[in-house]
């Protein structure tokens, strides 16, 4: 079985790929791998930049709901803590990090993309925080959203759970290029 996160340094750039087909759903092992990989990359003086993308048709469609369904309170707390640490490791990397969004970028995966310094997207990419539709607020790094798109648009995404396409994300300033 291939690792859920591959990271290949080439010419000073770490190319990191989420690889849990078909939607690269996040689960504790992958989240921990993101945290550990970016902590290690941060200590590597040869890395000047990183690119994060997803294999196949998605960047990541967010958390694996099957994992969430099996969590007790302590497990949920541990998962949220690890996810926060992983996203913080990306956000505070000592080099620029680019999210290359190739498809759905949802929930915690959207927050991972928000932690990156730049976001580029395929025309078919979508962005959203759908978990609010089932009563789960975005509690990890949603605070990264308002500085990018403004408080009104951030509230729209955070409170409705609606997704937006790449062209709208570009016009809102959420992504840098389609």
Beta-sheet pairing, 5-10 with 13-18: antiparallel
CB-CB contact of 79 with 31 (8 Å): yes
Identify whether 27 is a catalytic site residue: no
Q: Which of 131, 141, 162, 167 is catalytic?
A: 131
Q: Tens digit of pLDDT for each residue in 23-34?
A: 999 999 999 999
Give the strand order in the sheet containing 164-165. 104-106, 126-128, 164-165
| DSSP 3-state of 78 | helix
For residue 3, is pLDDT > 90?
no
Domain holding 41, by residue range, is 5-172
Q: Do 41 and 93 contact (CB within 8 A), yes or no? A: yes
State residue 129's pLDDT score.
93
Indicate which residue of 8, 88, 111, 141 is catalytic. 111
User: For the ranges 63-67, 78-82, 157-161, which has the lowest average pLDDT?
Assistant: 63-67
Cβ atoms of 68 and 25 closer than 8 Å = no
pTM equals 0.94
pLDDT, one tens digit per residue, over 102-147 is 999 999 999 999 999 999 999 999 999 998 887 777 767 788 999 9
CA–CA distance, 145 with 133 (Å, rounded to integer): 18
The domain tally of the chain equals 1
49 occurs within a structural domain = yes
3-state secondary structure 96-128: CEEEEECCEEECHHHHHHHCCCEEEECCCCEEE
Q: Is residue 124 part of a domain?
A: yes
Q: Is residue 117 part of a domain?
A: yes
Is residue 102 in a domain? yes
**Known active-site residue 141:** no
pLDDT tens-digit map of 27-61: 999 999 999 999 999 999 999 999 999 999 999 99
User: Per-residue pLDDT for 69 more than 80?
Assistant: yes
Question: Considering the domain boundaries, does residue 46 fall inside one?
Answer: yes
Domain membership of residue 92 (yes or no) is yes
Tell me what the mean pLDDT of segment 4-20 comes to: 97
Residue 178: inside a domain, yes or no?
no
Average pLDDT over every residue of 66-92: 93
* CB neighbour list of residue 77: distance below 8 Å, 6 or more residues apart: none
Instruction: Kindly give, in sequence order, each residue whose CB lies less than 8 Å from that of residue 113, ignoring residues fewer than 6 positions away.
Output: 52, 59, 99, 101, 105, 119, 127
Helix 28-43 × helix 73-91 angle, to 10° = 30
* Bridge partners (DSSP) listed for residue 77: none
177 in any annotated domain: no
CATH label of the domain that carries residue 70: 3.90.226.10
pLDDT at 174 (0 to 100): 97
Q: Is the confidence at residue 160, as pLDDT, over 70?
A: yes
Q: What is the reported pLDDT for 2? A: 58
Are the C-beta atoms of residues 80 and 139 closer than 8 Å to each other? yes
Indicate whether 149 pLDDT > 90: yes
**Taking residues 157-168, what's their average pLDDT?**
95
When the pLDDT of each residue in the chain is averaged and rounded to a whole number, the result is 94
């Amino acid at each position: 079985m291939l690792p859920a996160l591959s990271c290949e340094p080439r010419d000073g750039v770490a190319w990191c790929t989420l690889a849990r087909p078909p939607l690269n759903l996040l689960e504790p092992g992958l989240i921990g791998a993101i945290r550990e990989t970016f902590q290690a990359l941060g200590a590597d003086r040869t890395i000047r930049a990183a690119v994060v993308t997803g294999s196949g048709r998605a960047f990541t469609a967010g958390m694996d709901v099957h994992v969430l369904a099996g969590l007790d309170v302590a497990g949920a707390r541990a998962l949220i803590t690890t996810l926060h640490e992983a996203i913080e490791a990306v956000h505070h990397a000592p080099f620029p990090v680019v999210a290359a969004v190739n498809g759905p970028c949802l929930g915690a995966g959207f927050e991972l993309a928000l932690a990156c310094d730049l976001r580029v997207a395929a025309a078919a990419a979508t962005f959203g925080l759908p978990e609010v539709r089932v009563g789960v607020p975005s509690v990890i790094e949603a605070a990264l959203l308002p500085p990018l798109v403004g408080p009104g648009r951030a509230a729209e995404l955070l409170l409705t759970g609606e997704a937006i396409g790449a062209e709208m994300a570009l016009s809102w300033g959420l992504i840098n290029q389609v």
